[in-house]
Amino acid sequence: MSEPAMELPDRAPTVPTVRAWLTEATRVLASAGVRDARVAAEWLALSALEIDRAALYARLGEALPPRAAARLDAWLQRCVAREPVAYVIGRREFWSREFVVTRAVLIPRPETEHLIEAALECFPDGHRGRRLQVCDVGTGSGCLGVTLACEWPAAVVLATDVSAAALAVARVNAQRHGVAARMHWVRTVALQGLADEGFDLLVANPPYLSWAELREAEPELEWEPRVALDGGEDGLAVIRLLVADAPRVLRPSGWFLLEVGAGQAEAVLRLVQHAGARQWFLRQDLAGWPRVVAAQW
Ligand SMILES: C[S@@+](CC[C@H](N)C(=O)[O-])C[C@H]1O[C@@H](n2cnc3c(N)ncnc32)[C@H](O)[C@@H]1O
């Protein structure tokens, strides 16, 4: 007697091409309310495939390998739940370098790069062997302190944070970019415990959202550490602490560079003037908001 014939499906399950996956993922993300859904889908795909953007475009017509497809299914679900792509893939670019990010740290933002531009402007000879003493207050991922240490190979950078978990991530990034030997780490609140007149440059992107802004924020923000965002009722609580103590820790003619929220610059400038600054300037972001307040005492 012959064996009963096994039922075979009509066709093998279809494997999407990279292009088809991107199209579908973009649709799914957009309908979940994710901004820049296509860009997000591309970051997921190139990370799952472990290739760069140019290689992604070269492989649009290829079938998605099963391992990458499984990974992408899981990642897509996380993004649909509005977890930021940077946490899902574990990295974010800042000043053309890649930084590891975890939920212990704020995801570096493009507007924060204006602080780097301002720092390079304030110390145009900073890369020519001058041993600048820099303090990155509230270092988070380390994006500011590590970038400045990379740009100025002779600088020494002290990175501080209230969060021990953030400092651990920043150390990983300092090692990744080969500057750990010139960086020091302190867990402290604002500038407490820092030496008098110890620094040529204080750079900070402090938490500056007001409680009203936090209540209205996009769902992605809920994944980021509250301590990295919460600037108190009016958004200025940490900024006030920093402005009050900056003149003490800066060397004569040292610069204080602060990122502020959209619409906050005027209030911060008043604080800085009230604290006796003798020189200041503002730098705008690409949307035209004054984003960096720079001051010298
Ligand atoms: C807006 S995040 C900036 C992180 C990083 N510098 C960046 O630009 O992406 C603010 C950081 O300051 C830290 N922070 C919050 N309050 C602080 C305080 N009072 N003193 C020191 N650090 C503080 C947070 O833990 C967080 O890492």
What's the chain's length in residues?
A: 297
Q: Report d(CA 264, CA 231) in Å as an integer.
A: 12
Residue 82 in domain:
no
Ligand 1 centre to CA of 40 (Å) is 25
Q: Report d(CA 82, CA 63) in Å as an integer.
A: 27
- 205 Cβ inside 6 Å of ligand 1: yes
Contact 220, 214 (CB under 8 A): no
Which residues fall within 8 angstroms of residue 231, CB to CB, at 6 or more apart? 206, 207, 208, 209, 210, 237, 238, 239, 261
Kindly state whether residues 115 and 230 are assigned to the same domain.
Answer: yes
Residue 163 in domain:
yes
Average pLDDT for the chain: 94
Q: Output the six-digit token pair for 255.
A: 């610069």
- 214 Cβ inside 6 Å of ligand 1: no
The one-character DSSP state at 105 is S
With a cut of 80, say whether residue 1 has pLDDT above it.
no
**In 10 A of CB 164, how many CB atoms?**
10
Kindly state whether residues 70 and 98 are assigned to the same domain.
Answer: no
Q: Residue 253: what pLDDT?
A: 87
Kindly state whether residues 108 and 245 are assigned to the same domain.
Answer: yes
**In 10 A of CB 105, how many CB atoms?**
29
Q: Which of 105, 106, 202 to mutate to test the pocket of ligand 1 (most atoms within 8 A of CB)?
A: 106
Kindly state whether residues 53 and 95 are assigned to the same domain.
Answer: no
Ligand 1 centre to CA of 13 (Å) is 48
Q: Report d(CA 144, CA 174) in Å as an integer.
A: 11
Residue 156 in domain:
yes
Kindly state whether residues 120 and 243 are assigned to the same domain.
Answer: yes
Using one digit for the tens of pLDDT, what is the confidence trace for 267-292?
999 999 999 999 999 999 999 999 99
- Which value, to the nearest 10 degrees, does the dihedral of the CA atoms of residues 121, 122, 126, 132 take? -150
- Domain containing 257 equals 91-296
Residue 86 in domain:
no
Residue 4 in domain:
no
Using one digit for the tens of pLDDT, what is the confidence trace for 136-174?
999 999 999 999 999 999 999 999 999 999 999 999 999
Kindly state whether residues 169 and 23 are assigned to the same domain.
Answer: no
- 144 Cβ inside 6 Å of ligand 1: yes
Cα 178 to Cα 29, 98, 144, 191, 192, distances in angstroms: 36, 13, 15, 26, 28
Residue 200 in domain:
yes
Kindly state whether residues 119 and 41 are assigned to the same domain.
Answer: no
Q: Residue 125: what pLDDT?
A: 81
How many distinct structural domains can be found in the chain? 2
Kindly state whether residues 149 and 178 are assigned to the same domain.
Answer: yes
Kindly state whether residues 258 and 113 are assigned to the same domain.
Answer: yes
- Nearest atom of ligand 1 to the alpha carbon of 141: 5
Helix (H) or strand (E) holding 149: helix 143-151
The strand pairing partners of 209, in sequence order, are: 230
User: Model confidence at 8, in pLDDT bands (50, 70, 90)?
Assistant: very low
**In 10 A of CB 168, how many CB atoms?**
14
- 161 Cβ inside 6 Å of ligand 1: yes
Using one digit for the tens of pLDDT, what is the confidence trace for 53-107?
999 999 999 999 999 999 999 999 999 999 999 999 999 999 999 999 999 999 9
Give the SS3 label for residue 293. Answer: strand
With a cut of 70, say whether residue 247 has pLDDT above it.
yes
Kindly state whether residues 154 and 241 are assigned to the same domain.
Answer: yes
Q: Report d(CA 43, CA 54) in Å as an integer.
A: 12
Is-above-0.85 flag for pTM?
A: yes
Residue 11 in domain:
no
With a cut of 70, say whether residue 18 has pLDDT above it.
yes
Contact 60, 11 (CB under 8 A): no
Residue 84 in domain:
no
Kindly state whether residues 105 and 60 are assigned to the same domain.
Answer: no
* Residue with CA nearest ligand 1 atom 8: 205
Residue 291: give its domain's CATH number: 3.40.50.150
Kindly state whether residues 49 and 158 are assigned to the same domain.
Answer: no
Among 43, 74, 105, which residue terminates a domain? 74
Provide the residue type at 120 as one letter.
L
